[in-house]
Amino acid sequence: MEQVYTDTDHLYRVLVPFFNMLKSNDDIGPKILASGLIMQFRYSEPVGVISIDCPKQEVIQGDDESIIPTVTMTMKANVAHKFWLGKLSLMVALTKRDIISKGPVAATMKLLPIIKGAYALYNDYLKENGMEEMIAFEG
């Protein structure tokens, strides 16, 4: 299957700055950080790990074993891409096991109304950074 992110470095070059942008966004950042969660996203195809430590207000790239996440979301990187484009419902993805969640799912679900605004931001972010071909990716 074709992958939207060509390798782990590409995954990090796209998602880490995007997550930092969300953290700094006046409408989204304060609400996500106020959750107090430590969210870890574990990707496959390509393999990568990104953690968002809300108490420390940090986005961490790589599999740092000192991080103890409150919530872990495991998925293929293509699934994450579709989610951030707004083309994939979290509830449907969890039900179909396209995303496997470990930890208090209810806490994560409370963030959904907050991050809905991130879908348009991801689209704009890709365009502004010369990656518009990723928007049309169907993989």
Beta carbons within 10 angstroms of residue 96's beta carbon = 11
Side by side, the strands of the sheet bearing 58-61 are 58-61, 48-53, 38-44, 71-76, 99-102
Spatial neighbors of 20 by CB under 8 A, at least 6 apart, are: 59
**Residue 31's pLDDT is what?**
93
pLDDT of residue 109: 82
The helices-and-strands tally (H runs, E runs) of the chain is 6, 5
For 8-128, CATH number? 3.30.1050.10
Amino acid at 27: D
The tokens describing 95, both together, are 């039900």
Q: Identify the top-confidence range among 46-50, 102-106, 119-123.
A: 46-50
**What CA–CA distance (Å, rounded) separates 83 from 69?**
21
Parallel/antiparallel/unpaired status of strands 48-53 and 99-102: unpaired
What are the pLDDT digits (tens) for 20-74? Answer: 999 999 999 999 999 999 999 999 999 999 999 999 999 999 999 999 999 999 9
